[in-house]
Amino acid sequence: MCLSIPGKIIKIDNDLAEASVGGTIVKIGIQMVENVKEGDYVLVHAGFALQKIDEKEALVTLQLLREMNES
């Protein structure tokens, strides 16, 4: 079973991007997702963006992860 985490694209440089994942900035590959723009949310797994997701879904998922971490 794999877990992907929502990340917000901060900066794009060719096939790499910087994304904010839970407040941490990470470098990810964006080769597998078309039309990614700064400000988009993507699901991140093993250093790669797997797909775009909408902001509402991303924020709900991040909140659930924070709640699980606190309990």
pLDDT digits (tens, 9 = 90+) for 22-63: 889 999 999 999 999 999 999 999 999 999 999 999 999 999
Q: What is the rounded distance in angstroms from the CA atom of residue 40 to the CA atom of residue 38? A: 6
Q: What is the pLDDT of residue 12?
A: 98
Does the pTM surpass 0.85? The reply is yes
The torsion angles phi and psi of 44, rounded to 5 degrees, stand at -110, 130
Q: What is the pLDDT of residue 1?
A: 62
* pLDDT interval class at 5 (50, 70, 90): very high
Report the number of distinct structural domains present in the chain: 1
Give the range of the structural domain holding residue 63, as residue numbers without chain letter. 5-70
CATH at residue 51:
2.30.30.140
Q: What is the rounded distance in angstroms from the CA atom of residue 61 to the CA atom of residue 28? A: 19
Q: What is the rounded distance in angstroms from the CA atom of residue 58 to the CA atom of residue 31? A: 20
Q: Are 42 and 48 in contact (CB under 8 A)?
A: no
How many residues are given for the chain? 71
